[in-house]
Structure 1
Amino acid sequence: MKKIKNILLSALVIGSSGLHSYTNATEVQIQTVLGNINVALFDEATPETVDNFLLYVNSGTYANTVFHRSVPSFIVQSGGFAFNGTVPPDPIPTNPPVINEPEFSNVRGTIAMAKLGGDPNSATSQWFINLNDNSANLDVQNGGFTVFGQVIGDGMEVVDAIAALPIFSQGGVFSELPVRNFTQADANNGVAVGGDNLVIVTDIVIVNDVVDSNPDITPIENTRINPPSPPPTTGNDGGGSSGGSIPLFAVSSLFFAAVLRRFKVL
């Protein structure tokens, strides 16, 4: 009977704590010419987005891609173009778009999917890392941008190093291209940006495929796109009762109390 009681009490705790376990995460490593960035992915809360991202990872599509966009105090972006010996880089092949999953907030250190303007469900391969708290903008813009992971360890040091690089325009989508070992004097003298100047992602690999491998990550929920429901209004019956249905916790408590009485373990 003691075993039954423990099982039921554990189930009660799970039932009252919500549907998602936000600590579950596969860990990947974004390997760049400036250092490695480890990222914990939110497998359970944003499953479609993570599956889509890992499809590119496992196929090797992200190898030799570049950080093609850097916006100071905002984001650095990659996942769309590969260096194949020429500048500007070439677009990578993409899979069908993935459904939007704006569960988490675009705060500093999170990784999110880029997408087309005016189409919430248009993300394919491109992703970006938030340099600052961009939640007021990106949590609601275009249906909210899907945050699907969080940089861990000292990864933001590498991200900040990329963000600190000078930015030069190469036209089109490369108008905010971060470059290294390249100066304004070089540009003035007609020196062309080459492969040695690009911030290349040599590969992205899975370093830990255990889903609960990062129990200490603390993602912040996106409450701007899905604000919490208002509290139930007070009824007019003079007794101060609330309208609406019985809370889940109350139902769970009544149910488990009844079961425990049935087994006489209270």
Structure 2
Amino acid sequence: MLKHLIGAAALTLLSTAALADNPRVQLSTSLGDIVVELNEEQAPISTENFLRYVEAGHYNGVIFHRVIPGFMIQTGGFDSNMRQLDTGRPIKNEADNGLKNRRYTLAMARTQIVDSATSQFFINLGDNDFLDHGGRDFGYAVFGEVVSGQNVVETIGKVQTTSRAGHQNVPVNPVSIISATRLEESAE
């Protein structure tokens, strides 16, 4: 009934305004800028964790160390020499938060241990339902989505890869995050 009273366009504006309150981060990469919006309400632990790494400058200079076309691009843990960076303590896995591993969403990377995520995250290049909670195991916690720079994500997802330093699917020509910056909330 509300939809009929105020119209679909107004609902879209209300929905966009609600999202504008969420934290946003710009990832300036060697291939262009990506802006991500975090879902603080449904993924508070992962959002706080990610912002802590952003504010500490952890992501500045890291590379996308795992790129699998049509699946995902992963970053947050290695420098250009494939040295793993120091991280904080692992966080609780929030994969049961209702958010789904859909195209252009961000999710925390982890080991086979459910609560092992630290700084690494990935951007889904497709709808990866099997990564959702209960899909095959506890799942991978989605905590945000790309709101600008999807073309950059797609470009990264198509770079040529090789094996390097014991890792597969590493870009032949490194793709790095030059800086990760929290964007200020608009004063509107």
Tell me the matched-pair count: 165
Answer yes or no: is 1:126 the counterpart of 2:120. yes
> Of the candidates 117, 142, 146, which is equivalent to residue 147 of structure 1?
142
> Of the candidates 68, 89, 93, which is equivalent to residue 71 of structure 1?
68
Write the letter of the residue equivalent to 1:207: L
Answer yes or no: is 1:176 the counterpart of 2:144. no
Counterpart-to-counterpart distance in 2, 1:134 and 1:72: 13
**Larger helix percent:** 1
* Mapped contact 1:68–1:177 kept (Cα < 8 A): yes
Q: Any residues of structure 2 matched to 1:186-225 within 5 Å, and which?
A: 197-209=173-185
2:87 corresponds to: 94
* Mapped contact 1:163–1:178 kept (Cα < 8 A): no
Counterpart-to-counterpart distance in 1, 2:137 and 2:120: 16
**Larger strand percent:** 2
Q: RCO greater where, 1 or 2, for CA within 8 Å and sep 6 or more? A: 2
Q: Any residues of structure 2 matched to 1:10-89 within 5 Å, and which?
A: 23=19, 24-83=21-80, 87=81, 89=82
Unpaired runs of 5+ residues, structure 1, are 1-21, 180-196, 214-266
Counterpart-to-counterpart distance in 2, 1:39 and 1:47: 15
Answer yes or no: is 1:163 the counterpart of 2:157. yes
Write the letter of the residue equivalent to 1:156: Q
Q: Deviations over 1:44-67 (max 9, x none)?
A: 111111111111100001110000
SS in 1 for 2:164: coil
* Mapped contact 1:63–1:82 kept (Cα < 8 A): no
- CA-based RMSD of the aligned residues comes to 1.6
How many Å apart are 1:132 and its aligned residue?
A: 0.3
Counterpart-to-counterpart distance in 1, 2:136 and 2:93: 12
TM-score (norm 1): 0.59
* Mapped contact 1:25–1:43 kept (Cα < 8 A): yes
Counterpart-to-counterpart distance in 2, 1:110 and 1:54: 16
TM-score (norm 2): 0.83
Write the letter of the residue equivalent to 2:48: D
* Mapped contact 1:49–1:101 kept (Cα < 8 A): yes
Q: Deviations over 1:222-249 (max 9, x none)?
A: xxxxxxxxxxxxxxxxxxxxxxxxxxxx
Q: Deviations over 1:124-143 (max 9, x none)?
A: 010000000001x1003431
Task: Name the % identity.
Answer: 39
Radius of gyration: which is bigger?
Answer: 1
* Mapped contact 1:50–1:148 kept (Cα < 8 A): yes
* Mapped contact 1:29–1:204 kept (Cα < 8 A): yes
Moved over 6 A (4+): none
